[in-house]
Chains A and B, each alone.
Chain A
Amino acid sequence: MTWPAIRTILDGAVVTAALAAVSILLSLPLGLLVALLRWRRVPVVSGLLATFVSVVRATPFVTLVLFVYFILPSAGLELNPVPAAILALTLNTAAFSSEIWRSALQTFPLDQREAAMAFGMSEAGTFTRIVFPQIWRANLGPLVSEVTILLKCTPAVAVIGVVEITRAASRVGAETYEPLPPFLVATLIYTALIAAIVRGQRVVERRIARRFGSVSP
Chain B
Amino acid sequence: MNGLLVVWESRDVFLLGAANTVSLVLGCLLFSIPLGILGAVVLMEASAPLRRLLAELIDLLRCVPFLLLAYVVYYGLPELGLRLDSWWAGLLSLTIYTTAYLAEIFRSAFFAVAKDNIEAAHAFGLSRSLLYRRIILPQVAITAAPMIGNQVITTIRDSALLMIITVQELTFAANFVSANHFTPFAPFAAAVGLYLLMSFVVEEGVRRMERVRKVRYG
Contact = CB atoms under 8 A, between A and B. Distances in A.
Contacts of A81: none
A60 B159 contact: yes
B15 interface: no
A103 to B, nearest CB: 13
B102 to A, nearest CB: 17
Given A187-B68, A191-B60, A60 B75 contact: no
Given A71-B184, A190-B63, A66 B75 contact: no
A40 B73 CA distance: 47
B171 A62 contact: yes
A: contact size bracket: 35 or more
The DSSP consensus for interface residues of chain B is: helix
Contact of B153 (A57, A66, A151, A180): A57
A184 B73 CA distance: 10
B109 interface: no
B67 A191 contact: no
Interface residues of B, number: 37
A166 to B, nearest CB: 6
Contacts, number: 107
A173 B78 CA distance: 15
B18 interface: no
Contacts of A59: 157, 192, 195-196
Interface in B77-123: 79
Q: Which 8 A-B pairs give the minimum distances between C-beta atoms?
A: A60-B160, A70-B184, A58-B199, A155-B67, A60-B157, A152-B65, A179-B75, A194-B63
Given A55-B196, A63-B174, 16 more contacts: A59-B157, A59-B192, A60-B160, A60-B171, A61-B161, A62-B161, A63-B188, A63-B195, A74-B185, A154-B65, A156-B67, A156-B161, A158-B67, A183-B72, A191-B60, A191-B64
